Structure formats: C-alpha cells, structure tokens
Amino acid sequence: MKGTVLYGPRDIRFEDREMPRIEQPTDAVIRITLTCVCGSDLWPYRGLQPIKGPQPMGHEYCGVVEEVGSAVKTVKPGQFVIGSFATSDNTCPNCLYGYQSACVQREFVSRAQAPILRVPLADGTLVATPGMPSEDLMPSLLATSDVLGTGWFAADAANVKRGSTVVVVGDGAVGLLGVLSAKQMGGERIIAMSRHPKRQELAREFGATDIVAERGEAGVERILEMTRGVGADSVLECVGTQESMTQAIQSARKGGHVSYVGVPHGVAFKGEELFFTLVHLQGGPAPVRRYLPKLIDLVLSQKIHPGKVFDLTLPLQEVAEAYRAMDERRAIKALLRP
C-alpha cells in the first residue's frame, strides 16, 4: 500500500507503507472512499510546527469497513462509516460529558491519506450510515469527519442561537463551515471576514449576510460600526494566530462568546485584557463524535451541503499537489480519491 508521509517543510511523499491490520480487538480496518487535506496539515507542511521524523498524514476519512477486531460490537464489515480525527471510547467520563476529543483513550488519527486505515476504538469512534450513501453525498459526508464538525463546534462553543449576530474570523474551509453551522443554529446576521472573492461567494451561499474584507484593527472597527458600537454576540475564531485571536476577542460584545478551533500557534491571552472584555471563551479540538450522528443526518437529508468546500479533486497519488494548491491558496480544500 502507498500512503502519504511528510518528510519536512513542503516535502510530501506518497510512498510504500505497511498495510494496516487489526492490532487491538477494538480496532477496525476500513477501505477509504474519500480523504482530504486539512488546514491543520499545513502547519507542519509549512514548517511552522516541528515534526520529529517522517510523519504519516491525514485524519479526515470515510469508507467501508473491511475487518473488525474481536471486541468490536456495533461496527460491521461492509458498512459505510465516518469517524472523527480523534478516537474515543465514547464511554469514559469525558466522552459522556460530550468531550470525546478528550477521551481518556484518545489517539489522534494520522494515516488517513491512504487507501486503507486502521481505526482504534472502532465502536466509539465510527458512525455507520444506514445503507450505502449515494456517490454525490460522499464529499459532504467526508466533511462531517472534521472540517464541518469543527465549524459546528465553533458555532456551538460561541453560543450561536436564534437571532444571534455572528462574526466568523477566517475564510478557510472551517470558517466557511462555521458560517453554515451558524446559519443552521439560527444566526440572524452572519458576518464573514474574507478578502477572497471565491470564498466570499461560498460564505454567502452558506448563509453569510455580510462580508467584511478588512482585518486586524480595521476589521474590528468595521464590526463595531455594523453593530452600533456594541460588538457581536458570537465570534468564531477559525485561524489560530495571535492576530486573528485578538481580532476575534475585540469583535465580541462585552460578555459575548468567542470560540477558537484552530490549534493556537504562539497565541497568549493577556489576563487583564481578557478580563475587561468579560467574554466567554471556549476552544479546543472539536468533539466531532458528539455531533456526527446529527451532521450525518443533515447531509443525508440534503439540508446542508458542506462538501462544497472541496473545490479541487485529485487522485490520492497526487496528494503533494493537493498540499501545494492549499498552501498557495489556489484551493479552499482538496479532496483525494484513493
């Protein structure tokens, strides 16, 4: 089998890898139908996050179960399944509180840009669809695995409710699906921060009512102008830099809600500054598993079409080009077909 490995900055190779097999009785092995490149893959790809050695890549996946370990009870060979980027037993206290991305047995999936994947804790990690979904829904189902689940968490953690004024900082795929999620949760005014025409268009299609091209202080000023000087109820920070985080916090109204879902890189919150904003803050690796059943339903009933974030489709063996296209912002998000 060939799989994707990052060797160093901008050095992605598609090379021979050992064939995954059942290692633990709780494992499943699945044949990947679709996978993709995540915005978070770009941090190590760009050399902004160190790697210790050759790093197998990929954590968004859907596919058909090939084999399960002896302890797996709910997932069966032949089923079409989607799983989170974080494995979970779905039975530990953290899971039961809805934070499966902090499961006490959590592992982060990292070999999904490949034709075959071993998934630990299959019963708690994977969700099977009723029957085999139609081909055209596959990209949207793949999206539930991380990018939509993360956008959904961003909107949920930012307390988006019917009637909310929402700001989304970041026009990557997560930000765009944060817009879609905010719309689903009843957000009334949804302001997408973007200066990229194609992304602006998709943001509007997903439910953005306003687009703001300004960034940083100018972006904050614009949001304050648009909200009678008050700021937004909910701000979704979908980038992970100090600049975007500061912008997000300053765009919220006093006592508003700010979520952050990109792993923060070099970000610090100054206690005293944050204090006087009175904002609620929640971030973290999205507990996608909590949302998967609902998100899969929304996709299967065609109420949402998150797969539209994939604007480039490549055969898996061209994975290096997929990274390049996203790195150069030629593509919002690249779909890979094994």
Question: Exactly one of 42, 137, 213, 230 binds a second copy (CB under 8 A); which one?
Answer: 230
Residue 228 found at the interface with a second copy (CB under 8 A):
yes
Question: Exactly one of 18, 50, 70, 268 binds a second copy (CB under 8 A); which one?
Answer: 268
Q: Point out which span in 58-66, 116-124, 272-280, 302-310 binds a second copy (CB under 8 A).
A: 272-280
Between 157 and 304, CB nearer to a second copy: 157
Q: Up-side HSE of residue 332: CA atoms within 13 Å toward CB?
A: 25
Residue 266 found at the interface with a second copy (CB under 8 A):
yes
Residue 19 found at the interface with a second copy (CB under 8 A):
no
Residue 283 found at the interface with a second copy (CB under 8 A):
yes
Question: Exactly one of 24, 74, 263, 294 binds a second copy (CB under 8 A); which one?
Answer: 263
Residue 162 found at the interface with a second copy (CB under 8 A):
no
Instruction: Give the containing element (helix H, strand E) for 280.
Output: strand 280-283
Between 133 and 151, CB nearer to a second copy: 151
Put residue 258 in one of left, alpha, beta given phi > 0 → left and psi -120 to 50 → alpha: beta
The Cα 30–Cα 66 span in angstroms is 5
Is 154:284 a contact under the CB 8 Å cutoff? no
Q: How far is the CB of 242 from a second copy (least distance, A)?
A: 8
The Cα 181–Cα 158 span in angstroms is 11
Q: How far is the CB of 269 from a second copy (least distance, A)?
A: 4
Provide the sign of the torsion angle of the four alpha carbons 71, 77, 83, 86, taken in this order: positive
Q: Point out which span in 50-58, 75-83, 192-200, 248-256 binds a second copy (CB under 8 A).
A: 248-256
Which residues neighbour 183 within 8 Å (Cβ) at sequence distance 6 or greater? 190, 206, 207
Paired residues of 36 in beta bridges: 335
In single-letter form, the type of residue at position 62 comes to C
Residues 82-111 that bind a second copy (CB under 8 A): 93-94, 97-99, 101-102, 104
Give burial (CB, 10 Å; 0-12/13-18/19+) of 132: exposed
Between 83 and 240, CB nearer to a second copy: 240
Residues near a second copy, by CB under 8 A: 93-94, 97-99, 101-102, 104, 157, 228-230, 240, 245, 253-255, 260, 263-272, 274-285, 287
